[in-house]
Structure 1
């Protein structure tokens, strides 16, 4: 229990330290253009466009954070799944491989749906128009939580059978309607 609390405390200290550094670096910027930010997320990339003085320290620190918080976990997840894929290639039967692969694809698809828009948004930075940034970050906030239950529920065999029965019933009723129309 204490190791979990220590882990939580370390993450809180890390986040608070990062936020304090970012705010400290952003307060040294001066602005001579419009101060209207076309964003509603914590996206300080928009602030760079408005700064008149040198923003290199803030820019480099933000790149460090993008690598540390986004690219490092994403790379670790992909490395882990490549190791899982290698281990699956050693499994004896094809049926076992397919079953394990189906289990992994649900999680991996959610990881990709979450990470790819964020990585594109924060890696390309100012090359992306503000409205596209807002759209990417909005979809990243909405789609993974929305799709998570759907993807994992569809992994359940009972749900699959229920969906197959409904689709077969619907197909039969459409065929019946078409026959009645043709008469």
Structure 2
């Protein structure tokens, strides 16, 4: 798959964050702690859902898949970023760079679809509650989850196959802390117009269409909530989708700011900071949001703590 270009370029050099020599230990410690929190938080949600009655609920079933996606996403980017930080830059093989980009972009795509499916679940639960059990049955939920993962990884095969056909014969320095799409294109000495056209089409299918679907779902949800007579009922109904809405806001907010609405003339450091928020911050925030905004997650966490304490006695 990667053999064609390996005769020209065998590896790239990732510069990471420059001019932080005095603070790299501090940056490493902060990043490592966030990574540990991200891994533990998402693994905890996966464990709580898979070992309890929560697995029977579509919302928590999709949440466990979202946590698995965040786990893979972080583990693909952050360990290498920590290594780059300590070393002040590091090489990555050509194939390793493309694999990192493939896993990163596939997880990004999968998460877009999972968030869309979760918004549909909230739409059915709030707007047509009497049909919720018949619509969101276990078979449909499983199909939604499988197709989210399949489409995420299959769509990115198209992009990665086009990247493999590019020639990289000039500079091998990537001014970033991971192998991202635009930095890779900037290093190519081939005609990149075909892959740019392909990416433009895919972005509409991967990001824009799911985003519009989520937006449409929440417009219907808010319209239904406004129609509820009592303020207590409105508040209770809104609480069932507030966690997902916060996750959608943080995820799409950071994603759109980096890839769909880049600011012309923005420095590389600003781009890196935005990417850092997206790659390090968002996967950590998701389990935190669901923990503090969801009483069922808190109850399951309390049960796990009680079980651990009883085993220790």
Normalised by the length of structure 1, the TM-score is: 0.68
Aligned length: 158
Cα 1:152/1:5, change in 2 over 3 Å: closer
For the Cα contact (< 8 Å) 2:168–2:189, is it kept in 1? Answer: yes
Q: Which residue number in structure 1 is paired with residue 281 of structure 2?
A: 143
Cα 1:25/1:147, change in 2 over 3 Å: closer
Q: Which residue number in structure 2 is paired with residue 30 of structure 1?
A: 167
* 1:141, distance to aligned residue in structure 2 (A): 2.8
- Which has more radius of gyration? 1
Q: Which residue number in structure 2 is paired with residue 165 of structure 1?
A: none
Cα 1:7/1:152, change in 2 over 3 Å: closer
5+ long unaligned stretches in structure 2:
1-137, 299-313
Query: Which fold has the larger relative contact order, with Cα–Cα distance below 8 Å and residues 6 or more apart in sequence?
Result: 2
| 2: CA distance, partners of 1:25 / 1:49 | 15
| 2: CA distance, partners of 1:139 / 1:59 | 25
Candidates 130, 133, 144, aligned match of 2:271: 133
Q: Which residue number in structure 2 is paired with residue 168 of structure 1?
A: none
Q: Which residue number in structure 2 is paired with residue 107 of structure 1?
A: 244
Cα 1:99/1:16, change in 2 over 3 Å: closer
Candidates 289, 293, 298, aligned match of 1:155: 293
CA RMSD of aligned residues (A): 3.0
Q: Which residue number in structure 2 is paired with residue 73 of structure 1?
A: 210
For the Cα contact (< 8 Å) 1:66–1:122, is it kept in 2? Answer: no
Q: Deviations for 1:64-103, whole angstroms, at most 9, x for unmatched residues? A: 2222222222221121111000001111112211232244
- 1:1-183, aligned counterparts within 5 Å? 10-11=147-148, 13-124=150-261, 127=264, 128-155=266-293
Cα 1:46/1:83, change in 2 over 3 Å: same
